[in-house]
Amino acid sequence: MSGFFDSNLRFLRDNARWLAAGFLLTLFSSFGQTFFIGLSGNEIRASFGLSGGAFGALYMLATLASASTLPFLGRTLDLMPGWKVVRFTIPLLALACIGITLAPNLVVLTLAIYMLRLFGQGMMTEIAFTEIGRWFIASRGKAMSLIVPGQPFGSAVLPVIVVLVDQASGTWQLAWWLSAGLLVGIALPLVVTLMKVERVPLAAEAQSSTASTARDWTRAEVIRDPVFYMLLAGLLAPPFIATVIFFHQGYLTELRGYSDLAFAAAFPVMSVATVGFGFVCGGLIDRFGALRLLPFVLIPLALASLSVAAVTPVWGVYAFMALLGVSNGFTGTLMGALWPEVYGVKNLGGIRALVVAAMVLSTAVGPGITGVLIDMGVDLPTQMFGMATWCVIAAAVLTLASWRVRAREVRP
């Protein structure tokens, strides 16, 4: 047991610079994540006189635009060092935080949300996962499990802070201004300094790794690969479902009679579960490889969806958040380690940009579709039964995809 802890402490010590950079990138991506934007959702809707469906459509439009931009912007990670990409990503994210508070009309509001989604959820996550995927081989799963907690840590502390800041100041805009200051004053110089020194994996790491790294596919080959779309069919369920809940959290609290603070206080439950099961998944990836875990990754999410659909007391929120945390821990860590196993690392920036764009696309259509259904009288708990069914079907598709990838790996 002491050898296990000594080995992990040595890993943390030797790689603290790069792990800290990845953690901070996922942490500060929070300002473009749906859960953070959703905290001000009711106030934004009231300011512009938007219904739930109208705001969902606007959010969908902005997120679709960011998803269409990301495949082009993400390729910069294949053309220049990651720290140079950070130098323009973080300032533009800070500008979007300010823009959402000053928007004089719906056009500017849409532009601000577009920038939040593109540079927050999109590029900050893209930089973290792409660079860690390149920097590590034998310990790729462990490294991913240590940076993934950045975003759940943000979702654990930021909702409560935002609610308290809003209540103390009497305005929702102050939290966004503080976010912009944090990004420019702390995140930018710190992350750039950490990333300026590149980590080069040793040859011994590749030889000792159980998790394989595939041959280097081009982006054109990936787009023509049917397995790519099979993987997406399952792996888009977690961001879609989580986004729907976070975006409609105001609606759900009103529907069920929960207090805002009670819902915000459930985020730490999700974060603890995400971190704990992320570490479990990281160890399993380094031992068995990401592909062998694919058939099981959606089981916790199916249970989480059913809890929202069927459990009405306030403890149901905590049950959902705990199960969602388990799902996020597995999915987030696995998503970072999977793509090098399937498509290699040479063009990882461009390939991951396609994946992240698809994920952003799923988070775009989720609020729009569910918002329209809510306006039509189909409440969110009813819709969650359908999402649980999606998870079950998608798990079967991921199982088939895993078999196909492993089969082609052993062919001459």
Cα first-last separation, the chain = 41
Q: Taking the C-alpha atoms of 90, 92, 95 and 101 in order, what is their torsion angle to the nearest 10 degrees?
A: -100
- Highest averaged pLDDT of the listed ranges 161-170, 251-260, 280-289, 353-362: 161-170
d(CA 29, CA 223): 27
Region for 80 from its dihedrals, namely left if φ exceeds 0, alpha if ψ lies in -120 to 50, beta otherwise: beta
Higher pLDDT: 198 or 181? It is: 181
State residue 192's pLDDT score: 95
Domains of the chain are 14-409 (1.20.1250.20)
Residue by residue, DSSP assigns 52-78 as: HHHHHHHHHHHHHHHHHHHHHHTTHHH
d(CA 308, CA 303): 9
| Residue 280 in this model has a pLDDT that exceeds 70 | yes
| Residue 182 in this model has a pLDDT that exceeds 70 | yes
| Chain centroid to CA 330 | 12
Q: Where do the DSSP E strands lie in 313-354?
A: none
pTM: 0.72
Phi and psi, residue 103, nearest 5°: -60, 120
DSSP letter for 211, please.
Answer: S
Q: 281-305 burial, b if ≥16 CB within 10 A, otherwise e? A: bbebbbeebbbebbbebbbbbbbbb
> For residues 283 and 142, is the Cβ–Cβ distance under 8 A?
yes
- Highest averaged pLDDT of the listed ranges 2-11, 231-240, 317-326, 390-399: 390-399
